[in-house]
Amino acid sequence: MPIQFLDMRISSNSADDANSFLIPAAPGILFGDIGIQTLGVLPENAGDIRVLLSGYARVSNLISEEVVTIRVFRDLATPILVTSFVSNGEGVETFGFDAADFLPAAPASGQVQYTATIETTIPFAILGASNFSGIASAGTS
């Protein structure tokens, strides 16, 4: 099974803090949405697709002990990552995350969707620069 590069996608919600949004409490807001193409996967690699996901969110207007939660989903329903950060009260913080997803099989549609959301326990925080990306490969040797 040869190693195969499948796709790489980037969703840039904002490259700077000029375009900012109020972060609500649960269920949060969407800040990343990518569709990873898997259509070209070789038949012998169809059961060995791996996706590396990463991103960051710069959050301002934070107060001490405020909890910021980032969630990543596959196809809007399957949770891939849930991670929470507790603010140290600095006011502005950048939260980074990485996740890996091992698909059980190649999607029949030829694409898998990943979304990233952010929420906070005290809805006064503001989302600034943020980015979400994914890269997919298949095969083992």
What is the reported pLDDT for 14? 80
* Triad 75, 140, 72: Cα angle to 5°: 25
Please report the pLDDT score of residue 7 as a whole number: 97
Q: What angle do CA 18, 84, 74 make, to 5 degrees?
A: 85
Instruction: Check residue 88 and give its pLDDT.
Output: 85
CA pair distance 76, 2, nearest whole angstrom? 30
Q: Taking the domain 4-138, which CATH number applies?
A: 2.60.120.1340
Report pLDDT for 17.
81
Domain assignments of the chain as residue spans, ordered by start: 4-138
Q: What is the pLDDT of residue 13?
A: 85
What pLDDT is attached to residue 6? 96
Q: Using 50 as the pLDDT threshold, list the residues of the chain that sit under it.
A: none
For the purposes of burial, counting CB atoms within 10 Å of the CB of 77, is it exposed (0-12), middle (13-18) or buried (19 or more)? Answer: exposed
In the chain, at which residue ranges do the beta strands (DSSP E only) sit?
4-14, 21-22, 29-37, 49-60, 67-74, 78-86, 92-102, 111-120, 126-138
Identify the pLDDT of residue 15: 78
Q: Which residue has the tokens 């890269």?
A: 135
Q: Which of 123, 102, 139, 128 has the alpha carbon at shortest distance from 14? A: 128
For residue 93, give both structure tokens: 């913080």
